[in-house]
Structure 1
Amino acid sequence: MKDQLIIFDTTLRDGEQSPGAAMTLDEKVRIALALQKLKVDVIEAGFAIASPGDFASVQAVARAVKESVVCSLARANAADIARAGEALQPAVRKRIHTFIATSAIHMEKKLRLTPDQVVDNAVGAVKLARTFTDDVEFSAEDAGRSDIDFLVRIFDAVIKAGATTLNVPDTVGYMIPSLWGERFKTLIERVPNADKVIWSTHCHNDLGMAVANSLAAVMNGARQVECTINGLGERAGNAAVEEIVMAIRTRHDIFPVTTRVDATQIVPCSRLVSNITGYPVQPNKAVVGANAFAHESGIHQDGVLKHRETYEIMRAEDVGWSSNKLTLGKLSGRSAFRARLDELGYQFKSDAELAEAFARFKDLADKKQEIFDEDLQALVTQTEQARAEERVTLQWLEVTSKTGTKPLAKVALAVDGEIREVQALGDGPVDAVFAAIEQRVGTGAKLLLYSVNAITTGTDAQGEVTVRLSKDGRVVNGLGADTDIVIASAKAYLNAVNRLEIPTSRAHPQHAEFAAMP
C-alpha cells in the first residue's frame, strides 16, 4: 500500500502574491470550487488578518467548500490566530496554518527576536490555534537557510504543543534537490515524535527547482506538498500542482505515494486560474501548456501515429485536454448555456447576471462558429469585471493604419457616465489606442507587460490580452478578450485602469513592517 500524499493548494494565498494577481471574492470562490472538483486535500484560502477583503474571502471559501479542508494563514501571534479562527468558523473541515521565521537572518534582521523568543512565540501560537481546531500546521519560514539544530528544537516544541503538520519551506528558492531531500531525512530522524505528524514541503522556484525539490522531499518522508495551479506565486512562483501530481502518477514505479486528485480537472482548473489572474500559461509549460502534447518533428509524428507511447509519457485526455470543446452556437438556448457553466463550476447569483452573460455569449456566437469552454470562462470573467469595475468604459474605437504613416486611434470613452472622444497617434495600432486612452484618463501609469494569447484555435479565435500597469507602487493586471485583437487590447488596458481605481489594504505577510506587527 502506498501512502497518500496530501496536496495543499495555496493558489488563493501564495499565488495571489504575484504582482497584479489579486482576485475578487467571487473569483476566489470560483477557484476554490474548481480546486474542490480537482480534489485537492487542503485549500489555503488566504491570510485572514491581512485585510477585511482577505477575511471575507476566507470566510466565503469556508462556507462554499464542503469536501476539502479550508485553511487560513496566520503569523505566530494571538491577533492573527483569532482572526483566522473566526474566518474559518463556517468550514466543515478547517485548519490554521501559523508560521514564524527561523533563519538567523530573519530572526535578527526582520523579527528582531532571540531564538528563545521565537520558540516561545511558536509554541504559544500552536496552543492557541488548537483552541479553534484540532488541525494545526506550523511553518518554519526560511527553513532552507535555518540552522538544523534550531529546526529540530522548534519542531520538537511545537509537536508537544499540538501541531499536527510541520511545514519546511524553502521560502527563497535557495535549495537544490539533493540537499533538500537530505534536510527532510535528517529532520525526520532527529525530531522526537516525528512519526506523529505530517511533514510538508513548500518550495519556491527562484532557481527553477521547486518541483524537483518538492519531489526530493517526498522521496525522503514528506507526505504533504504545498503548491499552486500553474506554479503561480510571487517572484518566480511555487511548485506547480499539475507537475507534482503528474510526476507521481507517471512515475508510480518510483514514488511511494499516490494522490486523490482527479487529473482530468487539471486543464480546466489551469485555464480558470489563468483567465481570472491574467497570468497566461506559456505554450511549452509542462502538462497544461498549449504545446505540451504537440509534436512538430516528423520523426516524433511518425512514432506517435504508429504507437502513442513512443513519444508520449502521458495521455492528453488524462489531464483534461479532450473535454475543452463545446457544441454551442448562436442558436443555443439559455438553458444549455447555463448548464454548461454549471459544469464549469460557475453559478449565477441572479437572473440578471445570467441575462447579461447570455447576451455577451450571443454577441460572441455571431463572430465565432464554435464556442469553447475557454471562451465561456473568459466571457464570465469579463462579465464580472464589467459589473464590478466599470468606472471607465469603452464606447467605440476606430483605428487607421497604413504603410508609411503612423497609426491613428479614435476612441470614445465614458468616465463616470460622461462620454468624450479622443484621438492619438502611436507606433502601432495598439500603442495608438493606449495613448488615446491615457489622454482621456491620465493615470500616468507605467506599462510593465503587454501579452497576447489565443484562447482557442482557428482564425476566428478570441485573442486574450494581458496588460500590467504600475503606479505609485501598485501593480495591477488587466484582461481583455475579443476576436479583434485591438479591441481586446483596449478592454485589457481599461480593465487595468479600473483596477487602479480600487483601493486596497491588503498587506504582504513577508513585508518587514507587517511581519513585525504584534
Structure 2
Amino acid sequence: MSDRLFIFDTTLRDGEQVPGCQLNTVEKIQVARQLEALGVDIIEAGFPISSPGDFNSVVEISKAVTWPTICALTRAVEKDIDVAAEALKYAKRKRIHTGIGTSDSHIRYKFNSNREEIIERAVAAVKYARRFVDDVEFYAEDAGRTENEYLARVVEAVIKAGATVVNIPDTTGYCLPGEYGEKIKYLMEHVDGIDRAILSTHCHNDLGMATANTISGVLNGARQVEVTINGIGERAGNTSLEEIAMIVKCHKDIDIETNINTQKIYPTSRMVSSLMNMPVQPNKAIVGRNAFAHSSGIHQDGVLKNVQTYEIIDPKDVGIDDNAIVLTARSGRAALKHRLQVMGVELAPEKLDKVYDAFLKLADKKKEINDDDVLMLAGADRSENHRIKLEYLQVTSGVGVRSVASLGVNISGEKFEAAATGNGPVDAAIRALKKIIDRQMVLKEFTIQAISKGSDDVGKVHMQVEYDGHVYYGFGANTDIVAASVEAYIDCINKFKH
C-alpha cells in the first residue's frame, strides 16, 4: 500500500503575501472552495492576529468548506494563539500553526536570546495551543540554516509537548536538495518519538530549488508538503502544488499518493492567477501556456508519431481539455454558469445576469471566450465601488504623428475631462489622466499580457505606481489595450491612501 502525502496549501497565507495580490474575503472563499474541490488536505487560511481582514477570512473560510483542515498561523505568543483559536471556532477540523526561529542568526539577532530559551518558548507555545485544539503544527523558522543536532532537540521537545506536525522550513531557499533531504533524514533517525508526528516541508524558491528540495524531503521521510498554487509567495515564491502533485503522479516508483484531483489543477491555476491579478509565466511547468506546446520540428514530428516521445503528462490529466465547450456569442446563461462552476465560481442569479451581459458584449468583439476571459468577467465588478471611474476614452495615433488622447472620468459623481499629447497612445492617455488627477505619481512597472492568442484578444495590464513613498498595484482588462492601461492606472489611484 502506498504512503499518504498530505497537501498543505498556503496560497491564502504565504501566497497572498506577494505585493499587489491581496484578496478580499469573498475571493478567498472562492479560492478555498476550489482548493477543497482540488483535494487539498489542509488550507492555511491566514494569520488572524495580523489584521481584522485576516481574522475575518479565517472565520468565513472555516464556515465555507467542509472536509479540509483549516489552519491559522501564529507566532509563539499567547495572544496570537488566543486570536487564532477564536478565528477557528467554526472550523470542522482545525489546526493552529505556531513556531519560532531556530537558526543561530534568528536566535541572536531576531530574538536576542539563546538556544535553551528558544526551546522553552517553543514548548510553551505548543502546550498553550494544545489547550484549544488537538492538532498543533510547529514551525522551526529558518530550519534550513539551523544546525541539525540542535534542530533535532527542538523537534523532539515540541513533539513531547504535543505537536502533531513539525514544519522544517527552508525559509530563505538556501539549501541544496541533498542537504535538505539529509536534514529530514537526520531528524527521522535521531528524534525520539518522531513516529508520533509528521514532518513537513516548506521550501522557498530563492535559488530555484523549492520543488527539488521538497521532493528530496519527501524521499527522506517527510509526509506533508507546504505548497501554493502557481508557486506564488514572497520573493521568488514557494513550492508549486501542481509540480509536486504531478511529480508524485508521474513517478510511480516513489510509491506515494496524494488526494489531489489533478484534473482540477489547470482551472485552479487560472482562478488564482485571475483573482490575484498575477500572470502565470508562459514556460511555467504544468500550467504555463507553453507547457504542452511544441515548436521544434523534431519535437512536433515525434509528438505526431507518438505523443509520449515528448510528453510525459497527458494535458487532460491536469484539466486542459481540447474538447471543452467553447463559449461564443450564441452561448446561453446555462453554458456560462457551467463554465464558472467548473472553475469553482458560484454566482447569485443577479450577479450572473450582470456577468452574462458583459459576456455578450465581449463575445461580440471576440470569436471565442476562454476560461481566463470568463474569470476576468466574473471579477470585473470589483471596480464598481471605486471612487474614480473611466467614463470614456478617445485616442488618435499613427506613424509619423504625435498621439493625442482625450478622456473623461467620474470622481465620486462629479465628471472631469482632459486631453493631452504623448509619445504613443498609452502615454497620451495617462498624461491626460494626470491632468485631472494632479498628483506626483511615478509609473514603476507596466506589464501587458494577452489572455490567449489573436488580435481580438483581451489584454490584461498590470501596473505599479509610486505615490507619496508607497507603491500601489493596479489591474485592467479590455480588448482595447490603451483602455486596459488607463483602467489599470485608475485602479492604482483608487488604492492611494488619501
TM-score range, shorter chain: over 0.9
Instruction: Specify the alignment match of 2:69 in structure 1.
Output: 69
Q: Amino acid of the residue matched to residue 340 of structure 1?
A: R
Which runs of no fewer than 5 residues in structure 1 stay unpaired?
503-518
Range 162-171 or range 244-253, more displaced: 244-253
SS at match of 1:72: strand
Range that drifts further, 402-411 or 39-48: 402-411
Q: Secondary structure at the match of 2:74?
A: strand
Higher relative contact order (CA 8 A, sep 6+): 1
Is the alpha carbon distance of 1:150 and 1:64 closer, same or farther for their aligned partners in structure 2, counting shifts above 3 Å?
same
Q: Does 1:110 align with 2:110?
A: yes
Distance (Å, rounded) in 2 between the aligned partners of 1:497 and 1:119: 47
What amino acid sits opposite 1:247 in the alignment?
I
- C-alpha separation in 2, matches of 1:295 and 1:336: 31
Cα gap change, 1:473 to 1:69, in 2 (>3 Å)? farther
What letter is aligned with 1:98? Answer: T
| Residues in 1 aligned to 2:240 and 2:441: alpha-carbon distance in whole angstroms | 31
Deviations 1:240-285 (A, max 9, x none): 11111111111222x2311110111111111111111111011111
1-structure distance, mates of 2:346, 2:57 = 17
Q: Which residue of structure 2 lines up, in the alignment, with residue 511 of structure 1?
A: none
Distance 1:445 1:269, change over 3 A: farther
Q: 1:135 to 1:454 in 2, by over 3 A?
A: same
| Alpha-carbon distance in structure 2 between the residues aligned to 1:8 and 1:220 | 18
Q: Match for 1:381 among 379, 382, 387?
A: 379
**Partner residue, 1:26:** 26
CA 1:442–1:245: 2 relative to 1, 3 Å? farther
Other structure's SS at 2:398 match: coil
Structure 2: distance between partners of 1:107 and 1:83: 25
Task: Give, in whole Å, the separation in 2 of the partners of 1:439 and 1:38.
Answer: 48
Q: Assess, with a 3 A threshold, how the Cα gap between structure 1 residues 151 and 236 changes in structure 2: closer, same or farther.
A: same
Alignment CA distance shift 1:379-1:319 (3 Å): same
What is the alpha-carbon distance in structure 2 between the residues aligned to residue 287 and residue 461 of structure 1? Answer: 23
In structure 2, C-alpha distance between the alignment counterparts of 1:233 and 1:339, rounded to whole Å: 31
Q: CA RMSD for the aligned pairs?
A: 1.7
Contact 1:66 1:92 in 2 (8 A): yes
Identity of aligned residues (%): 48
Q: Which residue of 1 aligns with 2:462?
A: 466
Deviation at 1:355, TM superposition (A): 3.0
Letter of the 2:366 counterpart = K
Q: Residues 47-446 of structure 1: matches in 2 within 5 Å?
A: 47-253=47-253, 255-322=254-321, 325-349=324-348, 351-383=349-381, 385-388=382-385, 390-446=386-442
Which whole-Å CA distance do the structure 1 matches of 2:148 and 2:439 have between them? Answer: 50
Mapped to 2, the partners of 1:324 and 1:103 lie a distance apart of 52
Q: Unaligned regions of 5+ residues in structure 2, if any? A: none
Q: Structure 1 stretch 469-478 or stretch 80-89: which is displaced more?
A: 469-478
Cα distance, 1:295–1:16 mapped onto 2, change above 3 Å: same
Distance 1:66 1:323, change over 3 A: farther
Q: Structure 2: how far apart are the matches of 1:294 and 1:38?
A: 25
For residues 323 and 17 of structure 2, the distance between their equivalents in structure 1, rounded to whole angstroms, comes to 29
Equivalenced residues, count: 498
Given that residues 267 and 342 in structure 2 are in contact (C-alpha distance below 8 angstroms), is that contact kept between their aligned partners in structure 1? no
Is contact 1:44–1:72 with CA below 8 Å preserved after alignment? yes
Structure 1 residues 179-236: Cα deviation after superposition (integer angstroms, max 9, x where no partner): 1111111111111111111000101111010111111111111111111111101111
Per-residue deviation, 1:30: 0.9
The whole-number CA distance in structure 2 between the counterparts of 1:300 and 1:96 is 49
Q: Are 1:8 and 2:8 matched, yes or no?
A: yes
Return the offset for 1:337.
2.9
Amino acid at match of 2:319: G
SS in 1 for 2:139: strand
Q: Distance in 1 between matches of 2:406 and 2:340?
A: 36
Between the aligned partners of 2:439 and 2:164, the Cα distance in structure 1 is 49
1:484 equivalenced with 2:483 (yes/no): no
Q: Distance in 2 between matches of 1:89 and 1:499?
A: 32
SS in 1 for 2:167: strand
Measured in 1, the distance between the counterparts of 2:67 and 2:473 equals: 31
Deviation at 1:466, TM superposition (A): 1.3
AA in 2 matched with 1:271: R
- Contact 1:20–1:475 under 8 Å retained in 2: no
Q: Please say if residues 104 and 146 of structure 1, whose CA atoms lie closer than 8 Å, have aligned partners that are also in contact.
A: yes
SS in 2 for 1:481: strand
